[in-house]
Structure 1
Amino acid sequence: MTIPPDRHRFFGPDFVWGVATSAFQIEGAAQADGKGPSIWDRFCAEPGRIADASNGDVACDHVQRWREDLDLIAALGVDAYRFSVSWPRVQPSGQGAWNAAGLDFYERLVDGLLSRGVKPYLTLNHWDLPDALQQQGGWANRETVHRFVEYALAMNRRLGDRVASITTHNEPWVIAHLGHETGVFAPGIRDRAVAAQVSHHLLLSHGLALQALRADGCAARLGIVLNLSPVYPATDTDADVAAARREDGLLRRWYMDPLFHARYPDDVLAHLGADAPKVQPGDLNAIAQRMDFLGINYYSRLVARAGEPWDVASSGRERTDMGWEIYPEGLTDLLVQLDHDYAVPPLYVTENGGAFRDEAVDGRVHDPARTDYIARHIDAVGEAIRQGVRMEGYMVWSLLDNFEWASGYAKRFGIVHVDYATQLRTPKTSYAWYRDFLARRRQAVQAPAAARRETVEA
């Protein structure tokens, strides 16, 4: 699969190409070097929570194999690596004493990236809250907001002079909705009012952290990452249009409106009724801090039908191994919609990729479906740029096959295959495609510059 030639010109020379992972999904070393337990360690230990009854104790053994993994990143030719810090690895209880061994690991990781010419893009919270804080109420407890700000400041003072960006939270909707309303993710709570309060505290901690980081002289660019999808009505009936409006409110506007308009959408507040979060004076202004970037994680679209869920199979489109419809044009629609509705900063696609059933055969992993998925979504980003959206980067999810949360190890998103029994890494053909695509991009960017130099010298 190749990107149509007319799309190449929309990606400027400073466009950032990257790859992403998260701490709990790859690090392992769950009880090593003073790390404390996270809510996901506890969740995995509860019978029936994880599809294959697995856990993150070993995962991809990244804490031990980080040098090998960084070599894979460097050989890929990306500009950036988006990773997360495990809060309980650096501060086991989420407050109080810091763990020197955990902090040293991230020092080595960041320095290792820089020595390989790769910019570190740090995420503070990719879901693995210290369990000690959960025992005090977790994100439902307003005190956790302040513990997060302290954590953000500590990480900035340790790493902020060397990372390109700091993301506060990855996908607060997932933490709030899947973790606290449906309960299918950690910490496994099922309470809509709690979920709404959690969403507010996550946004508040984001805003207060940005205030504190800027006051502390943080040199890194600051932002947040949201998982968003465009929502289409299944039909043009009033009922389906209303259902799509409601779903868009719960997923997109509930987070975007406070971040950019300092308010929650009235229709969603009415929908929540007594379950709406308790908001203190000044909270919304604190949330609506200036951001240097906004990260968007995109995997598929949503289609809303009144009274019943929409069956993705009815679209006739291909699906990934997660059952998610492959709909690249939805990414273009989403980016254009965000740019139209809000005064957004430069946008990044911070996660995009597909789970497919890969197998290693004779030492090779051939995954044309993933290659096609990535190529078509890069094309969709190019189309958004053509329509005037300020895009600054695109990052593939994920570098490695890894622990896929409640699905365990059954779903593979990586462009590098991991044999979990031996920890052998095998780059897939999608890795080779992305590497070669980036090499061609560099050549295309360098050629005009070289021609200009030759003209000047002549």
Structure 2
Amino acid sequence: MTEFTAEDSDPSFEWGVSTAAYQTEGAFQEDGKGLSIWDEFANRSGKTYNNQNGNQACDFYHRYPEDLSIIQQLDIPNFRFSIAWSRVLPQGIGTPNQAGIDFYDRLIDGCLERDIEPWVTLYHWDLPLALHQRGGWTNRDIVSWFVEYVELTVGRFKDRVANWMVLNEPMVFTGAGYFLGIHAPGKRGMKNFSAAVHHAALCQAEGGRVIRDLHSTAQVGTTFSCALVESASPSRQDVRAAQRVDALLNRLFIEPSLGRGYPIDQFPALSRLQKYMKPNDEDLLKFDFDFIGLQCYTREVIRYSWSMPYIFARQVSPQKREVPTTLMGWEVYADSIYHVLRNFHRRYHLKNIIITENGAAFSDSVREGKIDDYDRQQYLSSHIQACLRAKQEGVPLHGYFAWTLTDNFEWAEGYRPTFGLVHINFQTQKRIIKQSGRWYAKLIQHHLVPPNSRNMDI
């Protein structure tokens, strides 16, 4: 295992864990909550692994004090979670649900009582179903709907929440949900995708402006999924194919926020976005975020493929390349996160980057009440070391959040992949801290506590 030295210590570095409302909360119809697109989608036959759903999930809605106490026990100082839009606004707009607001009041207060800093994501994929029925992300009216939601939540919690993220991985929820149809709401095609992308990018910036107007001292960020994209060969076709994939995965949402427009130069099919542009939209897409959250798990090796419409590219699978993979089938390649950080720093000169998600799913076995998940521990160790190497080389990296606190509902993959630092038996809801969770706690202590006063017994 990688060793961390005293030189790695940085008390100002933000260490944490990340979660998402739909993946953990459950209680999908309790206390006045409205349905979300994932409530509907996951309860359709054939849409998820073994037809599993998040109706109960980790029962975080009822068991959050236990999970916050685990975070406290592990001395993890920061907790990233999302607010379920349809829990606080059952119809997406209109009359708020006081019981839902009260839940997040209790959750935020519970964090602060345990000296855990709350980091709130406003949108983590669970659009209210009532808004989807009016077009959802394909309807430009979502900008005003989103503003109403942001004004309610930030206005309510700004006295206790200093760190806000507007969107979680907009490329994933637009691509998987509005082009491929494999995630909620199950829409397909370039028309749906193009409209959803542009409206999400507008909401990304407008949400940032609303937060800043309401909470001038807040740290405002947003998060992007990203991957190291490499060509399968030096051939011109493969290189161009990799450039198109890079434009789609890594550039599509950050560049409009920086005033660079959409990366149509590298991926001409994105010119379809121009159909949805209105006068002054280029300015409306811009927002100067205080930090950018990057979420990187793997790399993609790309070759040209004439049979793939629009992008004319295809992944060379890790299995075909005979490289180590996680339970998700993703390549284990720690240098991916190092190169992603370097590439974003080189391209955009960002002032503040935080890794807001990174982690791995592996098969876990409970033996004598313990889980020795060495593979996950190795994954985290190697990827954190790669992050710190990039930081030492000048990348403005100021935090790392592991994905995720507990095993949870992993979208279309159901409960099969387990990413958690804490195991959950979903029949009994019993929690067991994995060895990786205890290791992560020791690592954080190593970084935050002066060497002569460290106590590594956890």
Tell me if TM exceeds 0.5: yes
Shift of 1:269: 5.8
Secondary structure of 2:297's match? coil
Structure 2: distance between partners of 1:73 and 1:66: 10
Structure 2: distance between partners of 1:35 and 1:325: 38
The answer to whether 1:401 aligns with 2:407 is yes
Structure 1: gaps spanning 5 or more residues: 449-458
RMSD: 1.5
Match for residue 439 of structure 2?
433
Structure 1: distance between partners of 2:80 and 2:4: 27
Shift of 1:353: 0.3
- Between 191-200 and 321-330, report the one with greater CA deviation: 191-200
Query: What fraction of aligned residue pairs are identical, expressed as a percent?
Result: 38
Letter of the 1:232 counterpart:
E
CA contact (8 A) 1:197 1:276 kept: no
Match for residue 144 of structure 1?
142
Equivalences, count: 446
CA contact (8 A) 2:241 2:302 kept: yes
Shift of 1:213: 2.2
Secondary structure of 2:362's match? coil
Shift of 1:309: 2.9
Shift of 1:445: 6.2
Structure 2: distance between partners of 1:440 and 1:12: 9
Shift of 1:330: 0.9
Cα deviation digits, residues 402-436 of structure 1 (max 9, x gap): 00100111110101000000000000010111112
Cα deviation digits, residues 344-399 of structure 1 (max 9, x gap): 13000000000011121221111000000001111011111111000110000000
Structure 2: distance between partners of 1:275 and 1:158: 35
Structure 2: distance between partners of 1:217 and 1:426: 38
Q: Which residue of the other structure, out of 349, 357, 373, is the alignment partner of 1:343?
A: 349
Letter of the 1:278 counterpart:
Y
Q: Which residue of the other structure, out of 217, 220, 225, is the alignment partner of 1:219?
A: 217
Secondary structure of 1:290's match? coil
The answer to whether 1:177 aligns with 2:168 is no
Shift of 1:287: 1.8
Structure 2: distance between partners of 1:434 and 1:274: 45
Match for residue 124 of structure 1?
122
Letter of the 1:240 counterpart:
D
Shift of 1:52: 1.4
The answer to whether 1:115 aligns with 2:121 is no
CA contact (8 A) 2:300 2:315 kept: no
The alignment's TM-score, normalised by the length of structure 1, stands at 0.94
Match for residue 324 of structure 2?
318
Letter of the 2:334 counterpart:
P
- The 5-angstrom pairing of residues 287-326 of structure 1 reads 287-307=285-305, 308-326=314-332
Structure 2: gaps spanning 5 or more residues: 306-313
Letter of the 1:3 counterpart:
E
The answer to whether 1:267 aligns with 2:273 is no
Structure 1: distance between partners of 2:110 and 2:218: 18
Secondary structure of 1:318's match? coil
Structure 2: distance between partners of 1:97 and 1:385: 46
Secondary structure of 1:266's match? coil
The answer to whether 1:64 aligns with 2:62 is yes
Letter of the 1:137 counterpart:
G
CA contact (8 A) 1:35 1:90 kept: yes
The alignment's TM-score, normalised by the length of structure 2, stands at 0.94
Structure 1: distance between partners of 2:215 and 2:271: 41
Secondary structure of 2:265's match? helix
Letter of the 2:347 counterpart:
D
The answer to whether 1:442 aligns with 2:448 is yes
Match for residue 359 of structure 2?
353
Match for residue 381 of structure 1?
387
The answer to whether 1:410 aligns with 2:416 is yes
Match for residue 247 of structure 1?
245
Match for residue 162 of structure 2?
164
Structure 1: distance between partners of 2:176 and 2:422: 28
Shift of 1:447: 5.7
Structure 2: distance between partners of 1:223 and 1:103: 22
Shift of 1:321: 0.2
Structure 1: distance between partners of 2:298 and 2:9: 23
Cα deviation digits, residues 218-266 of structure 1 (max 9, x gap): 4321011000112111111111111111101111121121111341123
Letter of the 1:366 counterpart:
D
Structure 2: distance between partners of 1:229 and 1:444: 34
Structure 2: distance between partners of 1:274 and 1:428: 47
Task: Identify if the C-alpha distance between structure 1 residues 419 and 447 changes in structure 2 by more than 3 Å, giving closer, same or farther.
Answer: closer
Cα deviation digits, residues 127-154 of structure 1 (max 9, x gap): 0000000000001001111111111111
